[in-house]
Amino acid sequence: MGDLVIASPFLQAAAQKYEVTLLAKPYAQDLQPRFWPNVKVVPFVAPWTAFEHKYNFLIWPWRQIFRLWRQMRAEKFDLGLSARWHGSVRSAGDTRDHLLLWLFRVKTRLGFPRFESQFFLSKPLKAPEPTAHRYENWHVMGQALGLDLPRREKLQLPIARPAREILLHTGAGQPVRVWPMERYRNIVNRLRSKGFQVQVACDSDQEAWWRAAGEQNLAVPHTVGELIALLEKASAFVGNDSGPGHLAAFSGVPTFTIFGPQLPEWFAPLHLASEWLEGKACPYKPCSDYCRFPLPYCMVNSGAEEVWTRAEAFLARALHYK
């Protein structure tokens, strides 16, 4: 979800000039009414985006893929693009997306070439520098299409309502991005001792832990809509490097992110008041969530006291409290 939120400024700008169809995972249908209502969403879970067994072709949904191919080819798109980058090569695009555009018979196909994908693109683009934020991929695409897409530091985001409620979310897409739960409970207790109202939210597989820990103010959002409802009451967000954090930032809520295997310079939330604690050093970092060790030391070596000191300072700036 974080990648799709980062792409939202591009989708908003593109929809003002073009009829836009977005091929994305089903949760895009929940984001569409709020962030880009004029974009048509076609839900599709590409099997090569799975975390495990992504190239086990025997379990791929071939009937669905064939139906999608027929549907998209019949649209006769004038332009098609992919700003995804390959997980192992930061400055190169995703060959699989480029092949899809070619199979859909899109007239003009834009993307960042990666060796063999040059054949599938009619308009290869130069990728941003390897150290650039993920948003820069979309900025380059916007320039190629003549869109008035602002720089990241110039984005105009909503302003969160003034309050003292903190939304603390302990979930993440993969376990290696989850800071230890007991340390999160320590942060919750210290925030409440400072007079803050704290709404704890978590993923479904974390609910039992929080219940056993005695948490009374717990939410387990199952949809993007339920998560947005929690964000509408929050003035700040604390959590892992995750989709909910990106959604919070784009909704106007300043965020404090505890990073692990990924790099803040690539994936920092878009809100200019957002802050973060970078994950601890590791020779394999960034590792795209495939940890080689029994524990993700980039996460667990960030102690509770260090996080509290940084989070408290962040809240002082974000909420202007003494």
pLDDT by residue (tens digit) across 227-239?
999 999 999 999 9
With residue 171 as reference, give the H or E element that holds it: none
Distance CA 66, CA 191 (A): 52
Q: How far is CA 160 from CA 144, 210, 273, in A?
A: 33, 27, 11
Percent of the chain at pLDDT exceeding 90: 75
Q: Note the pLDDT tens digit of each residue in 162-173.
A: 667 899 999 998
Distance CA 150, CA 113 (A): 24
What pLDDT score does 120 carry? Answer: 92
Q: Tell me the CA end-to-end span of the chain in Å, nearest whole number.
A: 34
What pLDDT score does 281 carry? Answer: 93
Count of CB atoms situated within 10 Å of the CB of 101: 25
Distance CA 279, CA 303 (A): 11
Please give the single-letter amino acid code of residue 53.
H
Distance CA 177, CA 48 (A): 21
Q: Note the pLDDT tens digit of each residue in 31-80.
A: 999 999 999 999 999 888 877 777 788 889 999 999 999 999 999 999 99
Q: Note the pLDDT tens digit of each residue in 206-224.
A: 999 999 999 999 999 999 9
Mean pLDDT for 180-187 is 97
161 pLDDT above the threshold of 70 = no
Q: Do domains 2-154 and 165-319 have the same CATH topology?
A: yes
Give yes or no for a contact between 106 and 77, defined as CB atoms under 8 angstroms apart.
Answer: yes
322 pLDDT tier (thresholds 50, 70, 90): very low
91 pLDDT above the threshold of 60 = no
20 pLDDT tier (thresholds 50, 70, 90): very high
What pLDDT score does 118 carry? Answer: 82
If one looks up domain 165-319 in CATH, what number appears? Answer: 3.40.50.2000
What pLDDT score does 105 carry? Answer: 96
What pLDDT score does 89 carry? Answer: 47
What pLDDT score does 95 carry? Answer: 86
Cα–Cα nearest to 203, from 50, 48, 1? 1
Burial 237-271 (b: 16+ CB within 10 A, else e): bbbbbbbbbbbbbbbbbbbbbbbbbbbbebbbbbb
Mean pLDDT for 265-292 is 91
What pLDDT score does 86 carry? Answer: 57
Q: Using DSSP bridges, classify how beta strands 197-201 and 218-219 pair: parallel, antiparallel or unpaired.
A: parallel
Distance CA 173, CA 290 (A): 12
| The two structure tokens encoding residue 266 | 């690539």
0.85 exceeded by pTM = yes
What pLDDT score does 88 carry? Answer: 46
261 pLDDT above the threshold of 70 = yes
Distance CA 249, CA 273 (A): 9
160 pLDDT above the threshold of 70 = no
299 pLDDT tier (thresholds 50, 70, 90): very high
Which CATH architecture does the domain made up of 2-154 adopt? 3-Layer(aba) Sandwich (3.40)
Q: How many helices (H) and strands (E) are present in the chain, helices listed first?
A: 13, 11
Q: What share of the chain is helix, strand, coil (3-state, %, to 5)?
A: 40, 15, 45
Domain locations in the chain as residue ranges: 2-154, 165-319
Region of poorest pLDDT, from 12-16, 21-25, 154-158, 190-194: 154-158
159 pLDDT above the threshold of 80 = no
What pLDDT score does 321 carry? Answer: 47
Estimate to the nearest angstrom the gap between the alpha carbon of 145 and the chain centroid: 23
